[in-house]
Structure 1
Amino acid sequence: MEFSILVASFMSPSAKIVCVVSLLTVAGLMLCALLIYGSLDRSRVMAAESNLNFALNQLRSSVEANVSLGLPLENIRVAQDLVEQARAGNAEILAVEIFSSSGISLFNTDRGSIGEPIRETWREAIRRANGGRWALEEFGDIVLGEPIRNDFGEPVGYVAITAAGAGRDIHGNAIASALANRLAIAAPLALLLVGALSALAIRQAEQGLRRATERLRSTAPVAADAEPASGELPRLVDGVKASIAQHVAAMDTTAKAILALDEDDEADAAA
């Protein structure tokens, strides 16, 4: 801490400005990287949710089409093929299950779970959904469920899809790694560019200030036909000095005129 304070005390004002601009540049790049990460991650999540919703709707519609024919849910044998096809068609899906309204698994990609009751967390999610689509996160995975209805709109069962939540983390880590690699290349280049431009701008400003200071310290009057100085500040200084010289000359002329009038008045009084 003391070393950093000591270094800062020996830094010139221009070097401090360059450091501040460089730090702001790095902060801006990091903010851009975070925004890009958030945008890409949200896009990936939306795409994954869209795929899961499509698979869920397609499976529910296929089962409901068989229910509308008057078949009991447990007698729709093609449902087992449907759940297995739904899982095979999406690598993010871990399991697909169709269970009765009482919570007993009827068709499942895990055939060993057929006939087993669903977990209590699923029952609670169904109760909270109040007859609509339900979702929960369990063991790091995402479960989406939807009721299967008959022609009268009454739920005769439910279909649930379990998707791997770890895939989202893997994708997020891949995005973060890619952005970090690009930031490691872009940040030094941006620092060099910003540092060089800042140093150049500060040097030009210092030169203008130095020339302006020299002209202010100079007691020589600015000739009317003198060549204009280079730089805005030196030209401004020359203009101010010329204006002051004009006002001083005008004041001298006025003072001389007043003295001349006083002398004439004294001469008249003596006569």
Structure 2
Amino acid sequence: MPDLAYLNGKIMPIGKATVPIEDRGYQFGDGIYEFVASYAGRLFMLEEHLDRLERSMGELTFDAIAREDIKKAILELFEQSGYPRAGIYIQISRGVAPRNHAFSRGMSPQFVMTIRAVKELPKSLRENGARAITVKDLRWGRCDIKSVQLVPNCLAKQKALDAGCDDAIFVSDQNVVREGTSSNLFIVSDGRLITHPLTHNILPGITRLAILGICHSAGIEVQESFFGIEELYGADEVFLTGTITEVLPIVRIDDKPIGDAAVGPITRRLYALLREKALADTPA
């Protein structure tokens, strides 16, 4: 089965899917997206992803697409792919119109998706941990919207790779640690998790939400509060969370060891509990 695309109601091989050159997502970054993964043939936390997709569309004042229509299209594409461990990329732009910064109301949104088999992260990263650098946060002021405006994220990720690391962590001018290039960030200090509160400065991650629920059930204390770079360096454990990232341990940041520079017990436990939850989740 080839990798498939969905384009405004039609499913086709990815290579056959094209959008008009005057699509506002292409010309202005005037679009939003989601990424949903499956485990053992089951889409994980689909309703939560749909909640966030609707919120992003609302914050950018897109004309609505019925939630049930979006969900039906996702499930149809997923079923046709036949992938038990799939990653579905969903993108909706405001629509197609002659290039103009201002936009007209009543435009028809462009709704596209692609689906591929998930490429798992290397086991060495899970077992030995990843390395990261910190970078100045130059992103726009509404990181809570899952927008396709990702150039600062791409540049930061590439800077990390060029430095021989795996990811970058955004830090504000006020020395507040935000999140990774495509994932939320947690630190562990004295057995307690700390993560950035939900503001306009970070994405409300779906895996972040799952981890908060897991911690509540497991009796692990979590504090949503701001913290600085020295607290980051001095943490006992650090990990990133995301749809493909899942729970990724970070053992060195800016070439400084985190704790004893090994994957910590809380990080290992949370990864195991997240996998357990994902595999037990019922089909959408």
Q: TM-score, normalising length from structure 1?
A: 0.20
Structure with greater Cα Rg: 1
More strand per residue: 2
More helix per residue: 1
Q: TM-score, normalising length from structure 2?
A: 0.20
